[in-house]
Structure 1
Amino acid sequence: MVRRLALLAVGASALVAPVAPGARRTALKAADAQLDGMIGTSIECGDQVWDPLELSQWRDAGEMRACELANGRAAMLGWVGWLWPQVFGLWKGGPVTTTDPIDAIMQVPTVAWAQFIVFCGAIEANKYNWAKGEGPMTDPSKPFFDPLGLYPTDAAGQEKMQLRELKNARVAMIGFAGLFVNHFMPGAVPGLGGFH
Structure 2
Amino acid sequence: MPKIIVPVGYPMGVRHPIDEQDEPAYFEVLVARDQAKLSEPASRLWSLAFGDPDAHRELRFTRQHLEQLAANASVDASMLDELIKGGLLVEYDETERSSVDFLKRHNLHPTATGVGNTPEDPSMFKVAVGNEVVLTLQHDLFVLWSGSIRFPSLWDSVRDYSKHRGNAPMSTNELGILFAATIPAILTAGAGYLDIT
TM range (shorter): under 0.3
TM-score for both structures, normalised by structure 2: 0.24
User: Which structure shows the bigger proportion of residues in helix conformation?
Assistant: 1
Q: Which has the larger radius of gyration?
A: 1
Question: Whose relative contact order is higher, 1 or 2, with alpha carbons under 8 Å and at least 6 apart?
Answer: 2
TM-score for both structures, normalised by structure 1: 0.24
User: Which structure shows the bigger proportion of residues in strand conformation?
Assistant: 2
